[in-house]
């Protein structure tokens, strides 16, 4: 199972709940019940809800991982239940072979999955905000971000489920080669090396996240930045001048996805980073417009 990706694999999030759904129907048949909706839908879903709640309460999994996996887990469990209901005998005197195959399906699929090479993909995520201030006022707010009080961070669902909020970004020196240290709650830090310094229009930097440096309590280990399955590669700020006192600020980042279901993971990556990048841009907008007013 570890070779296939562990819990971040098609084998786990697909075949494990599928097998549980099939097993639920088999147990119901053994008990003499043929109510398809209860055994095929209710029993697998209730079992999953209990299991997912226990995972969050015991901190085996983070809330974001449970949220991301839930649609596939529930769909696979119901599918397994419905297929078992259609294929198993109504009076369960035989069928042990079918049930045994369903139970061992996760191990068989994990072995098969581990034999394939799964390509890494890169996803670009871009956010834009309109700021009523000239580029010269916006630039200092993106080059180095002073400490952000919690009151300046908008309420967003990503923070409600446990993602650390941004705190500050300090720059050791101006120009290409400067090191920008971005800090977040719970001791999370990212080290960013400036690769483009076109004041006051464009600032680009690579991002280095060392999984061993990030506290294990800050992120779930399956989605830790810089880990086996996910990484943030770079960031680019671009200031688009519209008029003397109005600009559009663009923030683009590139992300590495190395899962067995990159298309699905990319959809979540966009949703999550849209929240994080959007909150950072909102802080920059507030500060730039306040400085301009003063």
Lowest-confidence region among 59-73, 95-109, 233-247: 95-109
Residue 112: its H or E element? helix 96-114
| CA 253 to chain CA mean position, Å | 15
Which CATH number is associated with domain 121-293? 3.30.530.20
pLDDT of 94 strictly over 80: no
pLDDT recorded at residue 109: 84
Does the pLDDT of residue 216 top 70, yes or no? no
pLDDT given for residue 161 in this prediction: 81
- Give the residue among 91, 75, 106 at the shortest CA–CA distance from 12: 106
Q: Note if the bond before 200 is cis, omega within 30 degrees.
A: yes
Judged by average pLDDT, the poorest of 111-125, 137-151, 211-225 is 211-225
- In this prediction, residue 218 has a pLDDT band, given cuts at 50, 70 and 90, of very low
Cα(214)–Cα(256) distance, rounded to whole angstroms? 18
For the residues 130-147, what does the mean pLDDT come to?
95
* Domain definitions of the chain by residue range: 10-114, 121-293
Helix (H) or strand (E) run with residue 166 in it: strand 166-171
């Amino acid at each position: 199972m570890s070779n296939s990706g562990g819990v971040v694999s098609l084998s786990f999030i697909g075949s494990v709940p599928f097998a549980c759904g099939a097993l639920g129907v088999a147990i119901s048949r053994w008990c003499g019940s043929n109510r398809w909706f209860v055994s095929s839908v209710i029993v697998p879903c209730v079992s999953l809800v209990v299991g997912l709640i226990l995972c969050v309460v015991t901190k085996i999994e983070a809330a974001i991982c449970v949220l991301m996996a839930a649609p596939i887990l529930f769909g696979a469990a119901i599918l397994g239940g419905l297929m078992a209901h259609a294929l198993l005998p109504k009076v369960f005197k035989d069928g042990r072979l079918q049930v045994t195959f369903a139970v061992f399906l996760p191990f068989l699929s994990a072995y098969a999955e581990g034999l394939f090479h799964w390509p890494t993909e890169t996803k670009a995520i871009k956010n834009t905000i309109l700021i009523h201030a000239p580029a010269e006022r916006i630039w200092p707010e993106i080059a180095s971000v002073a400490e952000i009080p919690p009151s300046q961070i908008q309420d967003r669902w990503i923070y409600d489920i446990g993602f650390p909020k941004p705190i500050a970004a300090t720059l050791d020196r101006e120009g290409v080669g400067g090191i920008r240290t971005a800090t977040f709650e719970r001791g999370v830090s990212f080290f960013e090396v400036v690769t483009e310094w076109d004041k006051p229009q464009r600032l680009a930097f690579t991002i280095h996240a060392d999984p061993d440096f990030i506290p294990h309590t800050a992120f779930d280990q399956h989605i830790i930045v810089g880990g086996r399955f996910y990484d943030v590669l770079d960031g680019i700020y671009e200031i688009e001048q519209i008029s003397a006192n109005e600009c559009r600020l663009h923030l683009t980042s590139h992300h590495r996805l190395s899962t067995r279901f990159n298309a699905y993971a990319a959809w979540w990556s966009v949703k999550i980073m849209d929240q994080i990048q959007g909150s950072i841009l909102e802080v920059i907008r507030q500060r730039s417009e306040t400085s301009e007013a003063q």
